[in-house]
Amino acid sequence: MMADDLALEEFGASTALATADEGGVKSAMDLATVFDVPVNISAVLGKAHMTVAQLLKLNRGSVLELDRKVGEAIDIFVNNRLVARGEVVVVEDRLGVTMTEIIKTEDSAA
């Protein structure tokens, strides 16, 4: 699935793309400029915690053990905010993520 195939509703956006405000209604044309705003997307395989002494002992070939198990969903962040979870997949010669869960936050539920 490509990123363009994701429905905005899955991320808490309004299905109508028109929201009321004090001055009236914002049309899809008013919101069109927002669609070109770049965002940073990160897929986090896992995390590790260690002391500075342990960090300094790492070298080429060291294995960094993460807090996730094999097959466990990874976290997907947009601008450092957790928005989804997914599974790592291979797409030709690159890694990708299949989204398996969209995270509903209290902000997006309102």
Q: What is the pLDDT along the chain (110 residues), one digit of tens a residue?
A: 444 455 555 555 544 444 444 555 667 777 788 888 999 999 999 999 999 999 999 999 999 999 999 999 999 999 999 999 999 999 999 999 999 999 987 765 55
Task: Tell me the C-alpha distance between 69 and 46, whole Å.
Answer: 9
Contacts of 11 (CB under 8 A, 6+ apart): 83, 102, 108
Helices of type H across the chain = 28-31, 52-56, 106-109
Q: Which CATH number fits domain 3-109: 1.20.1560.10, 1.10.10.10, 2.30.330.10, 3.10.690.10?
A: 2.30.330.10
Distances (CA, A) of 48 to 22, 55, 60, 107: 48, 11, 17, 29
For the whole prediction, is pTM greater than 0.75?
no
Q: What is the pLDDT of residue 9?
A: 54
Any idea where the domains of the chain sit in the sequence?
A: 3-109
